[in-house]
Amino acid sequence: MQKTLAVEMKNALLRAQLDRFGELLGQAWTYKKKMSPLITNPFIEELYEGALAAGAIGGKVTGAGGGGYILFYCEFRKRHIVAERLTKMGGLVTDFAFEPSGVSTWSLR
């Protein structure tokens, strides 16, 4: 199911269906939590509910454990409201942007 949702999210982004993208993030989070009770904790759940109450359409935790981010989607005009709520709840808000050319890597020798 996660792979299907990822494809649907990509298609929503390509079609500029951003609210749909946010809804799909929420669905993916619901399915991800069913995989293991260790995927979330009370603080994450509190942040998630706080973000939704402040105007986020959906979100999900990213990463593979041991740290990561919660990615939320909301309308641009509600962004500051969601960020303020998360900050007041003890979250650290980090901006990000999609990179048109995809992932780039480099190494030092």
Q: Which of 55, 66, 68, 78 is nearest to 29 (CA)?
A: 68
pLDDT at 99 over 70: yes
> Over the Cα atoms of the chain, what is R_g?
15
Say which CATH topology domain 2-88 has.
Answer: Alpha-Beta Plaits (3.30.70)
pLDDT tens per residue across span 21-64: 999 999 999 998 888 888 889 999 999 999 999 999 999 998 76
The amino acid occupying position 26 is G
Ramachandran angles phi, psi of 105, nearest 5°: -130, 160
The amino acid occupying position 33 is K
Tell me if the pTM is above 0.85: no
- 101's CB contacts (< 8 A; 6+ apart) are none
Domain ranges, ordered by start, for the chain: 2-88
